[in-house]
């Protein structure tokens, strides 16, 4: 390149000299004059050309970037055919930024501002005490803990400072995960009614799941991207142009146009993973295992879905094996072992050890190392409420709650997932659910009329036996009693709001999420005369190894707006109430943005407390024993949302005995809710209240006054 430039320069000077000498003979001017004239003339031309090329390249680059930032998983790519058809244009493990601990001085201002309280006198009293404790903490042990956290973060630049702490905290919980941890996600029905047959749907979803596994492990799975403006950044042209951007720069350039590459490291735990009960639980992943676990009528079966070369077993063979299992008339065991996974973790850890030492180690290991658990229930569901309950806890004996996920199919073909949440969150599993649903419905491998393979399933399918002693039999009986008691105390109810959805709220220029969180708070205030702390989960997967941050929707703005709508609606004009809604929306959007971008305060305080416990043992700093801090973490209203048109409902249980849990889905023209509570809270009454508050909010947005 340098030699070419020198050659061009020498030619250019030679031409200038030649023209200057030639013209000097024809015009009575010195040759030097013509030399400089042509030199500057050609220089101007070259500069103009360079400027033009610079502008042209810049324009092309801007257009390319606006197109290239879309990296979303294209339909059919991961699961098209028995093997992936094409590879991703960009690896799933991108060059994501790491989140860093917040500046220590910022966290308390957020904490105080987001503290709700039903009594203002009590609020000021709490804050006075909190301010003193905060000052002492900030310049004392808190400062030391923060410096230690920053040093720890700088030492481990390969991961997020919060990741290991967060997982450890989850695994240290001793409550039953069946009633206090796992979540349920329901699939939509197959659009082809004939395919909603238990055997057919179980086979297709199983094959699609294995194809997803193969695609991910082969590195063909394209990354997930959060598009703030999908109409501009999520299109087919992007996939064609993405190859022009270096992988090192994709995440940075994409974020400049509000398209954020999401961390997918959690996908490693999606398959072959089980939560092992110990004094502190552990997550174990065995990628080399090639079998799935099938539970039917409380009995356990395993068979390989991958051959010795890692290829997927023929669909007709998997179809035949599942048919064989469904045809097995073995009675329900007198002591169904699966009930043990619904016990509290300390009890289950002792009984788990007893199982291993009593001759059942091989059976237990086959269960725990299976790719996933397929649960074939022997009953049909009559409505969405029953489906949600079945997916969340079911009959107990037919779910292995410790598996990373249980794929559950009822007798009528209704399907969904029970998700163990210590390894990942619902946002991570949505990609998996979307792809296997689309693949199993658009390109089903079997139909009700498909011929079964001529294979001896009795030779391939292995039924597992567990050896039980008196201790284990007694433990299973107690686990069953405890499970049934918790099951009776927990109520789920779903409802759908048909009078509008995301499209209407966007047209009104308010945040859909804010307008859904508000009626939850309004309803609680209306029914129970108090404002309570509220939890909304927010994924921080825009960062490497990101987990979850908490959004605190019960802000001062939301409290003021709720009281105006519930207690003082007739004292305000429609315009004033509309302004309050806009104010709440703006602040809520700010909370979402801060949480998503790693600027929330909850995880920072959590990390400081985690370090304090590790450093000082049972002696907890006074700051974390502050009534205001304790009150803030008593999340009576526990909420979460996911975004997918292919998911029918999401559900989970409250985290406190007197709590209410709300899972909701926001669609273009309607909203869907699943509300759960333990004894003491009337779910039906709460749902009616939410519906009425939504109608009032939508009415105000349309310019109509509130009617009693």
pTM > 0.75: yes
Q: Extract the residue ranges of the chain whose pLDDT is less than 70.
A: 1-127, 228-229, 231-233, 236-258, 617-618, 708
CA 388 to chain centroid, in Å, comes to 19
Is residue 534 classed exposed, middle or buried when 0-12, 13-18 and 19+ CB atoms within 10 A define those classes? buried
- Say yes or no: do domains 114-159+490-701 and 174-220+265-488 share a fold: yes
Residue 85 has a pLDDT of 31
Distance CA 132, CA 112 (A): 12
Q: What is the pLDDT of residue 60?
A: 45
Fold observed for domain 174-220+265-488: Chloramphenicol Acetyltransferase (3.30.559)
Q: Map out the domains of the chain as residue ranges.
A: 114-159+490-701, 174-220+265-488
Q: How many C-beta neighbours within 10 Å does residue 46 have?
A: 11
Tokens of 663: 């899972």
Q: Would residue 676 be called left, alpha or beta, if left means φ above 0 and alpha means ψ between -120 and 50 degrees?
A: beta
CB 526, CB 552: distance < 8 Å? no
- Reading the block at residue 53, the tokens are 């090329």
Percent helix, strand and coil across the chain, each to the nearest 5 = 50, 15, 35
Long-range contacts of 557-562 (CB under 8 A, 24+ apart): 557/583, 557/584, 557/587, 558/116, 558/517, 558/518, 558/521, 558/584, 558/587, 558/588, 559/116, 559/521, 559/531, 561/518, 562/518, 562/521, 562/522, 562/525, 562/531
* pLDDT for res 1: 41
Is residue 638 classed as helix, strand or coil in its secondary structure? strand
Please list the alpha-helical segments (H only) found in 419-469: 426-442, 457-460
pLDDT of residue 74: 33
Number of helical (H) and strand (E) elements in the chain, helices listed first: 25, 18
Condensed to tens digits (0 to 9), the pLDDT of residues 231-248 reads 666 776 666 666 666 666
The Cα 70–Cα 239 span in angstroms is 7
Per the CB < 8 A criterion, the answer to whether 640 and 595 are in contact is no
Structure tokens at 506: 């966007």
For the 114-159+490-701 domain, the top CATH level (class) is: alpha beta
For 314-349, the DSSP string reads: PHHHHHHHHHHHHH--PPPPSS-GGGGGGS-HHHHH
């Amino acid at each position: 390149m340098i030699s070419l430039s020198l050659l061009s320069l020498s030619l250019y000077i030679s031409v200038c000299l030649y023209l200057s000498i030639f013209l000097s003979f024809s015009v009575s001017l010195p040759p030097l004059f013509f030399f400089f004239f042509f030199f500057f003339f050609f220089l101007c031309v070259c500069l103009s050309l360079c400027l033009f090329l610079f502008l042209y390249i810049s324009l092309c680059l801007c257009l390319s970037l606006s197109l290239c930032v879309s990296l979303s998983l294209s339909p059919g790519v991961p699961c098209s055919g028995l093997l992936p058809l094409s590879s991703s244009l960009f690896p799933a493990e991108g060059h994501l930024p790491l989140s860093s601990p917040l500046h220590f001085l910022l966290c308390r201002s957020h904490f105080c501002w987001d503290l709700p309280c039903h009594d203002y006198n009590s609020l000021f009293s709490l804050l006075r005490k909190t301010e003193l404790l905060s000052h002492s903490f900030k310049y004392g042990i808190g400062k030391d803990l923060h410096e230690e956290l920053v040093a720890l973060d700088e030492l481990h630049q390969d991961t997020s400072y919060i990741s290991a702490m967060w997982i450890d905290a989850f695994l240290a919980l001793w409550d039953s995960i069946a009633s206090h941890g796992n979540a349920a996600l329901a699939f939509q029905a197959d659009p082809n009614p004939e395919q909603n047959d238990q055997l057919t749907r179980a086979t297709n979803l199983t094959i699609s799941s294995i194809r997803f596994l193969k695609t991910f492990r082969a590195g063909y799975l394209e990354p997930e991207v959060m598009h703030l403006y999908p109409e501009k950044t999520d299109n087919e042209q992007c996939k064609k142009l993405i190859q022009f951007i270096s992988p090192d720069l994709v995440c940075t350039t994409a974020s400049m146009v509000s398209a954020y590459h999401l961390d997918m490291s959690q996908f490693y735990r999606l398959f072959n993973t089980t939560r092992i009960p110990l004094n502190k639980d552990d997550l174990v992943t065995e990628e080399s295992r090639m079998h799935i676990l099938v539970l039917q009528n409380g009995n356990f079966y395993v068979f390989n879905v991958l051959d010795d070369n890692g290829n997927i077993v023929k669909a007709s063979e998997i179809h035949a094996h599942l048919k064989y299992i469904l045809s097995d008339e073995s009675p329900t065991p007198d002591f169904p072992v699966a009930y043990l996974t619904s016990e509290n973790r300390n009890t289950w850890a002792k009984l788990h050890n007893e199982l291993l030492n009593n001759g059942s180690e091989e059976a237990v290991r086959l269960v725990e190392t299976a790719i996933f658990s397929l649960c074939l229930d022997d009953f049909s569901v009559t409505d969405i409420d029953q489906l949600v309950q079945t997916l969340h806890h079911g009959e107990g004996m037919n779910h292995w709650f410790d598996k990373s996920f249980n794929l559950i199919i009822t007798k009528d073909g209704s399907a969904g997932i029970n998700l163990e949440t210590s390894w990942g969150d619902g946002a991570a599993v949505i990609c998996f659910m979307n792809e296997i649903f689309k693949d199993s419905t658009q390109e089903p491998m079997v139909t009700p009329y498909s011929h079964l393979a001529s294979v001896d399933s009795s030779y391939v399918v292995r039924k597992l036996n567990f050896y039980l002693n008196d201790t284990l039999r007694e433990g299973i009986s107690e686990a069953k009693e405890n499970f049934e008691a918790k099951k009776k105390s927990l109520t789920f109810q779903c409802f759908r709001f048909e009078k509008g959805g995301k499209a209407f709220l966007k047209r009104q220029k308010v945040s859909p999420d804010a307008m859904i969180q508000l009626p939850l708070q309004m309803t609680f205030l209306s029914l129970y005369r108090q404002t309570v702390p509220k939890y909304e989960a927010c994924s921080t997967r825009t960062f490497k190894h990101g987990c979850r941050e908490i959004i605190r929707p019960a802000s001062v703005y939301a409290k003021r707006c709720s009281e105006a709508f519930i207690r003082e609606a007739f004292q305000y004009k429609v315009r004033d109430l509309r302004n309050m809604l806009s104010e709440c929306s703006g602040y809520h959007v700010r909370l979402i943005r801060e949480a998503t971008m790693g600027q929330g305060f909850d995880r920072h305080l959590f990390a400081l407390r985690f370090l304090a416990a590790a450093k000082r043992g049972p002696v907890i700093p006074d700051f974390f024993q502050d009534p205001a801090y304790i009150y803030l973490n008593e999340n009576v209203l526990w909420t979460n949302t996911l975004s997918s048109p292919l998911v029918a409902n999401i559900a989970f249980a409250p985290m406190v005995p007197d709590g209410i849990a709300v899972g909701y889905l926001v669609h273009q023209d309607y909203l869907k809710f699943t509300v759960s509570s333990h004894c003491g809270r009337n779910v039906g009454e709460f749902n009616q209240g939410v519906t009425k508050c939504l109608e009032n909010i939508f009415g105000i947005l349309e310019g109509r006054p509130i009617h009693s």
